[in-house]
Amino acid sequence: NDYNKSRCLMLSRISRVLVIKKIDADLMNEFNEIIWWLMKNENITVYAEKTEFSDKSITDKLRVYSSDKQVDLIVTLGGDGTLMHASSLFPLAMPLTIPFNLGTMGFLTPHSFKEYRNIIENVFKGDYKILNRERLFCEITKVDSILTAMNDVVAIRTCNKYFRMCKVNIYVDDIHLTTVEGDGVIISTSTGSTAYAAAAGSSLLHPSVSGIVICPICSHSLSFRPLIVPLHSNITLEPIDHVQINIDGVNVCYLSSGQRISVCRSINPIPCVSFNSDYEFYSGLNQCLHWNKRGIRN
């Protein structure tokens, strides 16, 4: 069976569901609706983040989520950023995830909220497929924590008084590939190839494509084109000058000469419920990204 499109075998009954709502979004009606519907099932315990409800609403069936809690299923209500937030909560193994589209873009969240009952009931019955979205595992010399990226790892120049270019040596499997001179470099998953990397000129990768994208940001050399390396590659970035490191758009640290960040495939992808990943990707290119759409001329 294809690793990224395998049909799920239910090893245990789903009994603990985490519902994550888009931060600072007016989605309380949808949030409350799905929570109360889930709680009607006597075998389900629902978790939510502390910021989403008052202490008075906490019961035996509705609990505050914390990192020490075990979860069988994640339901996200929002857009691509909400799925990214869910990924950040689970740097190791991530539970099965159903992303419902209630955001602005929705390229990675193909499921309509109007269909949540049918979709979740099918998941409870085990009638669904999985699209495993690969993640990147990151080791940074000065950061003592586990870091994973759903979209990308970015080394970008800092705002110094001289506005110098960013200079970073790139190694692939301990082989020196090149030295970046420009605004920076993006190391991206296939999922992230449609995000920041796409804006920087990368090719768009189907999420089932096993590869890692190395994409320059405003390179000083016009011959430095985006490169796709095998998914099993180990990529090391060694800055020559001071650089800023962002993971999925969040600044995690600054590195200087003598320090490094190592990036490789995470053994823990994001298992997303998918009923037709090919249709979801290609229709998303047209409907969300408006890929190759041209205006009608008079």
Residue 271, token pair as written in the block: 């298992």
Q: Enumerate the H helices of the chain as residue ranges.
A: 28-39, 80-89, 116-125, 196-199, 277-287
Q: Which H or E element spans position 194?
A: none
Pick the closest to residue 103 from 284, 292, 293 (CA basis): 284
Residue 140, token pair as written in the block: 């940074």
List the catalytic residue out of 26, 60, 80, 183: 80
Q: What CA–CA distance (Å, rounded) separates 262 from 12?
A: 36
**Backbone torsions φ then ψ of 86, nearest 5 degrees:** -60, -40
Burial 41-59 (b: 16+ CB within 10 A, else e): beebbbbbbeebbeeeeee
| Three-state DSSP class for residue 237 | strand
- 61 within 8 A of 42, measured Cβ to Cβ: no
Q: What CA–CA distance (Å, rounded) separates 159 from 244?
A: 9
| Catalytic residue check, 174 | no
Residue 210, token pair as written in the block: 């096993």
Active-site residue numbers? 80
